[in-house]
Amino acid sequence: MVAIVFYALLILGLLSMAAHWTMRLRLMRLDSSRDRIEWLSFRGGDDVLNTYEALFPLSLLPRFCRHVFRMAIVLAAVGLCTIVILQASGR
């Protein structure tokens, strides 16, 4: 059970990283007036999410990235409760 929760959190983290990099790369390609490396290193996550959401209003990536933290907390809490219940029941 611990392995399932761990792998679920790991997959959620990898998906979040991939979504952030995808957004940063798309913004870097669109913004030719500024220094392109700025989108990869100097911009914060909220700035990237807000800019991406303004340019691509129908995209699911910003919404997914905004809720990843909450999903990870809920998944970790459910996993912890499951482990405690299984330990208390003697399994």
Instruction: Supply angle C-alpha 66, 67, 69, rounded to 5.
Output: 95
Q: What predicted TM-score, i.e. pTM, was given to this entire model?
A: 0.70
Structure confidence at residue 34 (pLDDT): 62
| pLDDT digit string (tens) for the chain, length 91 residues | 668 878 888 898 899 899 988 988 888 888 766 666 666 677 777 888 888 899 899 998 898 888 887 888 888 888 889 889 989 998 6
